Chains A and B, each alone.
Chain A
Amino acid sequence: MSNPARQLAQQQSDSSTMTSAKIVVAGGFGAGKTTFVGSVSEIVPLTTEAMMTDASTGIDDLAATPDKQATTVAMDFGRVSLDEDLILYLFGTPGQQRFWFMWDDLVRGAIGAVVLADTRRLADSFAPVDFFEDRGLPYVVGLNAFDGVLRHEVDDVREALSVEPSVPIIRCDARDRESTKQSLITLVEYAMKQWVAMNESGHR
């Protein structure tokens, strides 16, 4: 049979190449993920579903468990065209954080993540922060305020989340396009810095 990789290479030559990038938006229920995505997306955020069974592809033979009830997990996402051939997708993590299986799909190849934190429910941010640190995915913390957060509160948040001093913690308003844009810029700048540092130390 044909070699998919070679076929892919052939296919690419006959149409202009599109490039896509992905940023993950995490946070607890009600932290403003979908609002954040929607404030900058050129489409109304869409909801895609994955089934629990999707996570175990290749392991589970579906035919062997015909009565298995699939659990579906919903993720909201939006799209931002950055250039003629470059599209950025923003994916919100599933609301129920126990569905960790989707998170691997989400972070694979992602530039980084914005963890939206609600200062009244900081504990909701522990799980995403842990996950991104474990996977080595660069992340910034966005304090979705909800009216001016004072400087000392930012320090309090850093302490409460025990994130390193290098991790940017920024104030943002998820409803505001400029604010969301700025949060994304901060994340990408930080991710690039991390990437450069990691690759330099890795090569020497």
Chain B
Amino acid sequence: MSAQSLSQRMPTQVIPALPERDSASADDAAMVRPYMLTGGRTRAKYPLELETMVSVKEGVPFDGTCDRIEHRAIVEACPAPRSVAEIAVKLGMPLGVARVLVSDAADAGHVTVHRTMSGTDGAEAHLLLMERVLSGLRRL
């Protein structure tokens, strides 16, 4: 029964056999599941695309008065506005985890999430963005 429900849950993925491992090995202590930091949450409250810009809010010091170490890491990762993808790299975490943490840091008032033009905006906004990108590329 459990095998069946597992396969329904992950229809597309073949699960490799787990390697044998010694439960007392020292490696286990260092292994933290990435979503541990998010309390198992996998959703961000903000629409955070790969390219969504994040910046540290004015008045938030870079030397770490944030009470959570992950928030401090995010603040430190943004000496200038940075994308969610860059922050994930800086934190050394998968994108999904970084998204939740950035969302939390925004809720805590440490960072600003800039609006991502692409996607939900109207046709004119998208066209305007393309125009700006085009003239930017030509100036490059």
Q: A residues near B, CB below 8 A?
A: 2, 4, 7-8, 11-12, 14-15, 17-22, 40, 46-54, 57-58, 60, 62-65, 67-72, 75, 77, 79-80, 82-83, 86-89, 91, 105-106, 108-111, 181, 184-185, 188-189, 191-192, 195-196, 199
Q: Are A19 and B53 in contact (CB under 8 A)?
A: yes
Q: Do A109 and B49 contact each other (CB < 8 Å), given the known contacts A53-B96, A79-B83?
A: yes
Chain A residues whose CB sits within 8 angstroms of the CB of B96 once the complex forms: 50-51, 53-54, 57
Q: Known pairs A109-B116, A109-B118, A192-B130. 16 more at Cβ < 8 A? A: A17-B114, A19-B132, A20-B51, A21-B118, A21-B133, A48-B50, A49-B88, A52-B13, A53-B42, A69-B15, A72-B94, A86-B132, A87-B83, A109-B119, A191-B130, A196-B127
CB distance from A80 to the nearest CB of B (A): 7
Instruction: Identify the closest chain B residue to A89 (Cβ).
Output: B51
Chain A residues whose CB sits within 8 angstroms of the CB of B118 once the complex forms: 21-22, 108-111
Contact of A89 among B9, B13, B83 (CB under 8 A): B83
CB distance from A156 to the nearest CB of B (A): 29
Contact of B46 among A8, A69, A89, A196 (CB under 8 A): A8
Q: Do A188 and B57 contact each other (CB < 8 Å), given the known contacts A19-B117, A22-B51, A54-B95?
A: no
B69 interface contact, C-beta 8 A: no
Q: Are A20 and B53 in contact (CB under 8 A)?
A: yes
Instruction: Identify the closest chain B residue to A15 (Cβ).
Output: B112
Contact of A11 among B81, B112, B116, B139 (CB under 8 A): B112
Q: Are B129 and A65 in contact (CB under 8 A)?
A: no
Q: Are A50 and B95 in contact (CB under 8 A)?
A: yes
Q: List 30 A-B contacts (CB under 8 A).
A: A7-B106, A14-B112, A21-B117, A21-B118, A46-B86, A48-B50, A48-B86, A48-B89, A52-B13, A54-B42, A58-B42, A58-B43, A65-B10, A70-B34, A70-B94, A82-B136, A86-B132, A87-B81, A87-B83, A88-B133, A88-B137, A89-B85, A91-B51, A105-B50, A106-B50, A108-B119, A109-B49, A109-B116, A188-B134, A192-B127
